[in-house]
Structure formats: C-alpha cells, structure tokens
Amino acid sequence: MTVTAQTAVVGVTGYAGAELARLLLRHPRLKSTPPVFAGRIDEKDKARGGIPLGEIHPELANNNGTAKLHLQLFSWELLKERGVEVLFLATPHEQSRVWVPEALGRGIRVIDLSGAWRLQEPANRAIYGFEDDGSESARATQTQAVYGMPELHRERIAVARLVANPGCYATSIILALKPLVDAELIDLGHGIVCDAKSGVSGAGKAPTAKTHFMHAADNLSAYAVFTHRHTGELLEQIGLKAEDVVFTPHLLPIPRGILSTIYVKFSEAQTREQIGKAYRDFFRRSPMVRIYDKVLPQIQYSLHSGYADIGFQLSSDGRRAVVVSCLDNLMKGAASQAVQNLNVMQGWGEAEGLE
C-alpha cells in the first residue's frame, strides 16, 4: 500500500472528466499530489502554460488550490517528468485503443473510462468496429484488462495494470442481477427483461440531434434496441447468453442518473428474507452498494453520490420479482467507480474519498 500516488487525467473537459477531477482533488490521499491534467490545447494556450482548470470548470475554481492547476498539452514526456503512476483516460474509445498500449509499455497503470478494453469476447467487441482488433498489440493489451467493478473483481483489480471501467447501464444491471444469477435463483429459460433509463449526460458532452433540448425535453424515447454497446458487458459479467435477456435503454429528459427496472422469474418460490440474504451475502464487502428494504430506490437518492442503490418487490406467490437499481451515471457509472478502482489498486480503503 502506498501513502499517495501521482495521477493524471486525460479528458477533463467532459462531464465524467469534470466529476473525476472533483473527486481526485478532494481525495484525502491525494491532497499533496493533485492530478496532472493533460489534453489537446492550441498554441495560444500552450504559450500561457495551459488552460486554467477554473476556466474549464468554474465550479472547481479554488477547490484545494485548483486555481494553480492547468490543462497542459498532452505528451508522454510530461507524464514522465511529473512522475505519473496512474493514468485516467476519459477519452473516446479509439483514442484509448492507441494510448493504453503505449502507457503500459512505459510502466504506467491505466484506468480507462471508455469501452475500449471492457469486452473479452471478439463477438461482443465487434459492435465497436475497432480497426486494430485481432492485432498482436491489441490481443496483448486485452489479456491485461480487468473489468473494473470492484464488487466482482477487487482481487484482480488490486494487481491490475489496466482496469477497464464499466459502462453506466451495465453497472446498474450487473449489480442488480449478478447476486441472483450466482445464487441460481432465476429461471433463465423464462428470460430477463431490463428496462433502463438514463439522463442525457450519458450520451456525452458533444450535442447531437437527439440530445439537444428541443428533442430531449418533455420526451421519453427508447434507443439502440438489441444493439446497445453495454449488452456484451451484461452477458460476459453476469454469465448470460444473448437469448436470456432483453435490455432496452431509454433517454430521460433529466441531466443525469439511471434507473433500471429488471423483471425476473424464480425457479422456485422465494421469500423477501431469502432474496435480501442473497444480496447482502454478495455485497457484504461492498461499501458503495446500498440495499433498500422499506422503499424502492429512486434516481434522486443516488444523484451526485458514488452509491449504487438496489431494491426489490416480490410477487405474492414468491415466483416473480421486480428489481430496481439506481445510480448516478457520471459517478458510480463513471468517475466515482474509477476512483473506487484507484483505491483498490493502491491498497486504500475502497470508499476513501467517496462517502
């Protein structure tokens, strides 16, 4: 276990990058070693030493001395000069495919928030259309990637060189379903339905025709039916076949947050106590998962927090359940999960800087 670590963040200008910066700047282990922020900047900004972080995200100005921090021009020489040990990439998938092998070759551990290295099965990765997939370099990198969900893989994350941070939808559904599937309670032949809804920030900062105000406001729409990129994560991490589950994402007219409603049928009648025990046993070492007893989770309960909230209702015959899973897509669905992975990699308390 190390006392502190020198981190770097590439992609601080995005929504998840902003949350990541906020968490790292206030992390108790990193007070003396603020992150290096690097990315693309123009010649004018390069001449003044970079872009002040407070200009990019005014809400972070003067937070633990951030007025002195700048977004600098990315270079491997900069990271070496600053002694960077852990690199966070909040970059497009294609950029991560290029930079991760280079970082690993330079001895830098990586937490990648993109989908570049999450999927082990070529059939699942095919949806991304990576041009380098199947190359020797890509294969060598993929074998080092650990799926960054501490609740499932904390022992492997602790020694990993490359952690592939999970998708936001995938996190909400995997955490809700994995305990029940592992306990062999679900009748998979009956099928599982995952009806998930996310705020607009899940689509990223770049505006599109479907995410600008005139389309998203006062609206609710399904999208990427049967084709969403997070589906492969569900199959691989829960241990399902494609015919076992239907996952449909929806766009909510709110800035952030995810609510996944999951419908399951059990092989045998269950009691509330049995289902509750399955969850509590599975998450007994997981400080960032909250199990609700009296009420079902709501998006507002987990907003701006690093928690995943799970609750359920059982039918009167005990054979069916509706599971509700909520999280903040920019936090447990992205930035706070990345920091949770950092904590595990460094041997720190898993919830440090997050509760």
Contact (CB, 8 A) for 71 and 53? yes
Alpha-carbon span 177 to 175, nearest angstrom: 6
Beta-ladder partners of 249: 196
CA dist 312 → 177, 249, 293, 323, 327 (Å): 11, 20, 8, 4, 15
CA dist 317 → 44, 135, 263, 276, 310 (Å): 68, 53, 15, 16, 21
Q: Say how far residue 126 (Cα) sits from the centre of its chain.
A: 20
Q: Which two tokens stand for residue 331?
A: 């936090």
Alpha-carbon span 12 to 22, nearest angstrom: 10
Q: Sort strands 36-39 and 7-10 into parallel, antiparallel or unpaired.
A: parallel
CA contacts within 13 A on the Cβ side of 105: 10
Contact (CB, 8 A) for 148 and 164? yes
- Catalytic annotation, residues: 168
Helices (H) and strands (E) in the chain, counts: 14, 15
Alpha-carbon span 322 to 265, nearest angstrom: 9
Q: Look-up: residue for tokens 């996310």?
A: 198
